[in-house]
Amino acid sequence: MDHRSGELGIITRGSLLEGMEMKLNPNRSVEDIKAGKFVVIEGEKHLFFSMITDVRLEVTNPQILTHPPSRENTLLRQVLSGTSTYATVILRPMLALERVENSHLINPTPQPVKTIPTHFALVYEADEEDVSRIFGREALDRKYFNIGKPLDMDTPVCLNLDRFVERSNGIFGKTGTGKTFLTRLVLSGLIKNEKAVNIIFDTHNEYGWGAMKETGGNRQDFVKGLKQIFGNRVAIFTLDPDSSRRRKVQADHEVLIGYDQIAVEDVIPLQDELSLHPTAMEAAYSIWARYKNDWLDTLLERGEEDIQALADELRTHPESLAALYRKLRRFRAFKFLIPKTSEDIIQKIMEYIDKGIHIVLEFGKESSMLCYLLVANIITRRIHELYVKRTEEYLATQNPANRPKQLVITIEEAHKFLNPRASKQTIFGTIARELRKYYVSLLVVDQRPSGIDDEILSQIGTKIIALLDDEKDIQAVLTGVSNPTGLRSVLASLDSKQQALILGHAVPMPIVIRSRDYDEQFYKDMGFLTEKEREEKVAADIEALFG
Amino acid sequence: MKETHIAEVIESNTTEMIAQCRDLHCSPPFGSFVKVKPTSTSVEGAGFLIYGLVFNVMTNSIEPNRRAVAYGKTEEELRNEQPQIFELLKTEFQAHLVGYQDQTGIKQILPSQPPRIHSFVYTCSLEEVREFTRQSDYLHTLFTISRVPPDELIIATIRNSLEAHAEDAHQYLIQVGKELSRLLREDYDRLSSILRRIAP
């Protein structure tokens, strides 16, 4: 520890609340100091792992500001630099490691910061050993998954996937900042290390099969989807088989939902999309009270000519019933909704889940928000019901074989499900709130976190945040984070590509990363086989099977 | 080669000394470094090599009670007609003691004993100047001299020592400048005026 290099400066003042202030070494250029950089303060008894949150120019004498040196006067500029004019850097200690007295050994468990370093403690750039000591290494344990690298460094930062799946998580960032790539990375980690089974509601058809990469300019690159990388460990379900075929995607299963599988609770979250009046919802309940599972079928069947009779029969207001019918009539246009189905799609999904196969649900060209909300709600609500049942069985028997597989549901445009109004009514709000009690958690992907209910945001375990501009969004993602001031400036200064701030349950301290490249090397690391390798493997398998 | 002395100490105290030049008008320049060699190594407490900085040069009559008078002639005419009057004049300089050298090296602190009277004074070579000015701690004592404008003395000193740092003159100026900037923290205008004037 005595041989650290890369000295940045010394601590001059600070407080536990506001963070530490470091005077930058005169031989360091302030332009090399980036917000979000990972640094180490060497205190007397502790090492403080910290993040740079702010950089400031200072002068000792205000007179200098009134008569700044002219451009020609380089000597004066150079003389002043580092003595009368200098830079201070604000650091936020995030973790402390105790240094064992009279020895170079270090107590290896990082602690929360409860004190601050002494005056003139030296500050260094963190080295590779520090990063792996704090964030773990993939080689150590399957729970670690390399998600990217710290700024200006070459060591992987790992997510602790065990902790990651324990809570609901969020990936935020404005459009075009690489949310989808980050999500794909995280999902790949979960699939590869078998930490959870995933259901991905894929509105834009980006996860299952190849997707376009936003490179800017005219060049267009395609990247592989999860199905291509993980083969038969991932199944593609589609709502729109025609679209899948056109995109040359081999869908494993077509999703058909019968009217009898739609409950009134599935329609409630669509209030905004359908601009339904609360009285219309009451009408829906009154049909349900009488016809139970056939309520929607009955409404759509009799709505056209017979609405008055139906209203009389139910003793409800004909106007609100008619309004309900007019709105729900749109369901007929959805090809995947049919009056009766021969097989239960939820059963099918559960079969896959039981086998540990991950499901990407493609929407094809059925990408309207209405369709997305409806399908996601129907499926998630019923799967959640089954999971609750299974969990109860498991609790009753306490037999490890009955333990449900941890399930992660990925939803995009999450603010549609989790806005303050909807989150009280949709199943997603319930899942986000009840944590891992029933082995189901959410992976929320959204570009407008301020639209999500505060209560839900504060329950989100790990947040992976790409660039956000809007002050409201920044404030929203930092809900439930202690001392958010420093992180705010870090968030606003992220690059618009491939950079993200990770904080929360799955990382010991917040850190800015340059996300891992999603390229050939990544496919290989994930176990992807090229055409040739696959042929060889198939040949070997056939050999093994038929002798 | 044996060095020849340029002057001889005729008065000294803890902080400064007065030396009389060997030849009339042959004083070392204002703001230059001089050294006083110990009179004899065998004498106990004869001291170390002492460094001084010339801050005042004066030429006057040998007799304290008599002043030179104006003749209205050029120096050349005077030398031809009345050469004796030059014998009645002397050139002296005052030097501030800025440090000494013992077995361990150069120290920029006052010597424990001032130079002895009648010690010889020599000019410092470029190497010696370079060695001595490697550190700039001596600068702050120059601000305490009240008989000459300290800024002028500092400018002259730095300009004189620049030659010794010909190889890295700019780096040297930055180093000295930073020291001055620390000393003149409250006075930015003075600092920028000094820096403007020392730039070659």
Question: Between chains, do B196 and A64 touch, taking CB under 8 Å as contact?
Answer: no
For A28-95, give the DSSP string: S-GGG--TT-EEEEE-SSEEEEEEEEEEEEEES-HHHHHSPPPSS-HHHHHHHBTTTEEEEEEEEEEE
B38 and chain A in contact, CB less than 8 A: no
Separation between Cα atoms, residue B151 and residue B159, nearest integer Å: 12
The answer to whether the Cα torsion of A310, A316, A317, A319 is positive or negative is: negative
A69 and chain B in contact, CB less than 8 A: yes
Residue of A75, A85, A86 to mutate, testing the B interface (most B Cβ within 10 Å of its Cβ): A75
Q: Angle at CA A304, nearest 5°, toward A299 and A307?
A: 65
CA neighbor of A447 nearest in space, from A97, A171, A169, A42 = A171
Closest CB to B188 among A63, A73, A78: A63
Radius of gyration of chain B (CA): 19
Provide the token pair at A494: 């992220």
Separation between Cα atoms, residue A519 and residue A407, nearest integer Å: 27
CA neighbor of B17 nearest in space, from B93, B130, B101 = B93
Question: Between chains, do A63 and B199 touch, taking CB under 8 Å as contact?
Answer: no
Pairing of strands A253-254, A234-238: parallel
A207 min Cα distance to partner chain B (Å): 59
Closest CB to B185 among A60, A75, A78: A60
Domain ranges of chain A: 7-126, 159-225+350-532, 260-333
Domain ranges of chain B: 1-124, 126-200
A29 and chain B in contact, CB less than 8 A: no
Interface of B with A in 161-180 (CB under 8 A): 170, 173-174, 177-178, 180
A420 and chain B in contact, CB less than 8 A: no
What are the φ and ψ backbone dihedral angles of A418, each rounded to 5 degrees?
A: -115, 20
User: Is this complex's ipTM strictly greater than 0.90?
Assistant: no
Residues forming a β-bridge with A513: A150, A500
Question: Between chains, do B188 and A67 touch, taking CB under 8 Å as contact?
Answer: yes
* CATH 3.40.50.300 fits domain A159-225+350-532: yes
Question: Between chains, do B173 and A80 touch, taking CB under 8 Å as contact?
Answer: no
For A475-524, give the DSSP string: HHHTTT-SSHHHHHHHHHTS-SSSEEEEEETTSSS-EEEEEPP-SHHHHH
Question: Between chains, do A76 and B180 touch, taking CB under 8 Å as contact?
Answer: no
Closest CB to A83 among B182, B189, B199: B182
Q: Angle at CA A398, nearest 5°, toward A394 and A404?
A: 35
Pairing of strands A462-465, A169-172: parallel
* For B191, nearest residue in chain A (alpha carbons): A76
Closest CB to B177 among A61, A67, A79: A79
CA neighbor of A39 nearest in space, from A51, A29, A27 = A51
Q: Which residue has the tokens 């990063």?
A: A131
Question: Between chains, do B196 and A84 touch, taking CB under 8 Å as contact?
Answer: no
* For A61, nearest residue in chain B (alpha carbons): B186
B185 and chain A in contact, CB less than 8 A: yes
Task: Kindly give the confidence (pLDDT) of every residue in chain A, 547 residues in length, as a single tens digit, with 9 standing for 90 and above.
Answer: 456 788 999 999 999 888 999 999 988 889 988 888 889 999 988 899 999 989 999 998 888 888 888 888 888 888 888 888 999 999 999 899 887 665 555 556 788 889 999 999 999 998 888 888 888 888 888 889 999 999 888 889 999 999 998 889 999 998 888 888 899 999 999 999 888 999 999 888 888 887 666 555 555 678 888 888 888 899 999 988 888 888 888 888 888 888 888 888 888 888 878 888 888 888 888 888 888 888 888 888 887 777 888 888 888 888 888 888 888 888 888 888 888 888 888 889 999 998 899 999 998 888 788 888 889 888 998 899 999 999 999 999 888 888 888 999 999 888 888 888 777 777 888 888 876 688 899 999 999 999 998 888 888 889 999 998 888 998 888 887 777 877 888 888 888 888 999 998 899 888 999 998 888 888 888 887 777 777 887 888 888 777 6
Q: What is the pLDDT of residues A97-141, one digit of tens each?
A: 887 665 555 556 788 889 999 999 999 998 888 888 888 888 888
